[in-house]
Amino acid sequence: MSHQPLRTARTRLRRFPQRGIFDRQAINSILDEGLVCHLGLADATGQPFVLPTTYARVEDELYIHGSAASRTIRAMSTGQPVCATVTLVDGIVLARTAFNHSFNYRSVVILGSATAITDPVEKARGLTVLIDRLVPGRSNEVRPPTSQELKATSLLVLPIDEASAKIRSGPPGDTGDDLLTDAWAGVVPLQTSVLPPVPDPRLAPDRPIPAHIRSWRQETPN
Amino acid sequence: MSHQPLRTARTRLRRFPQRGIFDRQAINSILDEGLVCHLGLADATGQPFVLPTTYARVEDELYIHGSAASRTIRAMSTGQPVCATVTLVDGIVLARTAFNHSFNYRSVVILGSATAITDPVEKARGLTVLIDRLVPGRSNEVRPPTSQELKATSLLVLPIDEASAKIRSGPPGDTGDDLLTDAWAGVVPLQTSVLPPVPDPRLAPDRPIPAHIRSWRQETPN
């Protein structure tokens, strides 16, 4: 239940083999299910800013992109310490006591410093990964970025070296006499649902929805 | 579309009446729909930490609670600058070009410093608000906190004085020749769905689910 530091997979595997595997797998599985991370960055006065953004996990790195003109992206490019947090909210835990109310959730917190990818070929490949991770097969369907669009976009890579996962699941934690009280207790599960795609009104009306969009996350168990 | 600073409703109303009303209403509506905020706080070295937590908006204040022993909560209690961000992800925007891919979303960013509520009566009332805001009527059903539980919990109030909303909605922003390409374009809408409540296995099996839980967010349009 507590945040466990994650060094490299190799270090972790040497020191606590089972926990190490569990941690890396748990972290990856949460990162791969999430769509948006919350990126934290502090200014010189210590004021933090927390902004939502999309991301892709590629092996042990988190790819993040944004406008090259964005203050946040520029600050990240200089190697300032950042925090990237991904949270999946799985349910509301309704206990018999006010105190035991909670959420079921899975979250990952990554601390570190990002590096900007400046090589145009690497950058183009990284941006393709960001799209295809979100909607697999999408990059084949669309016009790739022009060199001007590439210039206007920054790609940052944050190593997943110092990270932790936190998970709460299951029924409320009531104990003792509280179990004898009259209150209903349990969990209201929540999930992110995918609704039917809404075509751009500028498409031909008889235009079929391609398979890579029709099937997107339809198979997601949760 | 851009983050607009929000001072007090009064200042805003004097200077840009329509925008002011819109901003405060837009911010409140996003805060009231969200369940979890991401709280940012930096340590002395400038390393930010971003943690998910529940909250309640009460008029122009955000209530946040947590364990009195938590480092984050203790740091917030000292008046350190914080950022609270709430994000609702409404859809994935699939454009004809890689560059125009985006999310539809609504987010609020609040900057400021929190104050700890130490008076036990005020604190108990604030914690009740946190529960009832999440599931209206819930506090009537459950055992209220003991004085020990109250001591173990901190309640913090963050004024919504400096805040901004950001909203993207609608179809992709493709223009010009890109509209002539062959790619499908549109939006895959996403929503948070409420699944049927799962009773605590320790409840009597014939125990009915009370109305305040059966009806919870069933009427939410999105």
Nearest to A100 by CA among A180, A177, A3, A185: A185
- pLDDT band for A1, please (50, 70, 90 cuts): very low
Q: What is the pLDDT of residue B50?
A: 96
Q: What is the largest CA-CA distance in chain B?
A: 68
Residue B66 pLDDT more than 50?
yes
Q: B9-176+186-214 adopts what CATH topology?
A: Pnp Oxidase; Chain A (2.30.110)
Q: Could you tell me which of B120, B100, B127, B110 has the C-alpha nearest to residue B39?
A: B110
Which of B36, B40, B131 minimises the CB distance to A87?
B36
- Tell if the CB–CB gap between B192 and A188 is shorter than 8 Å: no
Q: Give residue B5's pLDDT band: very low, low, confident or very high (50, 70, 90).
A: low
Least confident of A177-181, B54-58, B90-94, B214-218: B214-218
B42, B138, B153 ranked by CB distance to A42: nearest: B42
| Contacts of the segment B31-34: beta carbons below 8 A, 24+ positions apart | B31/B55, B31/B57, B31/B62, B31/B86, B31/B108, B31/B160, B32/B57, B33/B88, B33/B106, B33/B220, B33/B222, B34/B86, B34/B87, B34/B88, B34/B108
For an interface test with B, the pick among A143, A148, A166 (most B C-beta atoms closer than 10 Å) comes out as A143
Predicted pLDDT of residue B17: 43
Q: Using CB atoms within 10 A of its CB, is residue A4 exposed (0-12), middle (13-18) or buried (19+)?
A: middle
pLDDT at residue B194, rounded to an integer: 95
Contact B213, B197 (CB under 8 A): yes
Per-residue exposure over A132-154, b if at least 16 CB sit within 10 Å of its own CB, e if not: bbbbeebbebbbebeeebbeebb
Q: What is the pLDDT of residue B22?
A: 56
pLDDT tens figures, A17-32: 444 345 889 999 999 9
Q: Is domain A9-173+198-214 given the CATH code 2.40.240.10 in the classification? A: no
Residues in chain B within 8 Å Cβ distance of A50: 38-40, 48, 50, 83-85, 109
Q: What is the pLDDT of residue B219?
A: 57
When scoring B130, B188, B194 by the number of chain A Cβ atoms within 10 A, the one with the most, hence best to mutate, is B188
ipTM of the complex: 0.90
Decide if pLDDT at B125 tops 90.
yes
Which of B110, B140, B143 has the most A C-beta neighbours within 10 Å, making it the best mutation to test the interface with A?
B143
Say what the pLDDT of residue A222 is.
Answer: 43
B165 by DSSP, 3-state: which?
Answer: strand
How many inter-chain contacts (A to B, CB under 8 Å) are there? 280
**3-state helix vs strand vs coil in chain B, percent to 5:** 30, 35, 35
The rounded distance, in Å, linking the Cα atoms of B125 and B181 is 59
Confidence tier at A218 by pLDDT (50, 70, 90): confident
- Computed over every residue of chain B, the mean pLDDT equals 89
Please give the residue of chain A at the shortest CA–CA distance from B84: A50
What does DSSP assign to residue B98?
Answer: S
Q: Is the pLDDT of residue A112 over 70?
A: yes
- Asked whether the predicted pLDDT for residue A214 surpasses 60, the reply is yes
- Average pLDDT for residues A133-154, to the nearest whole number? 95
pLDDT at A219: 57
Residues of chain B in contact with residue A48, where contact means CB-CB under 8 angstroms, are 40-42, 48, 50, 81-83
Tens-digit pLDDT profile for residues A50-93: 999 999 999 999 999 999 988 889 999 999 999 999 999 999 99
- Chain position carrying tokens 């409840």: B203
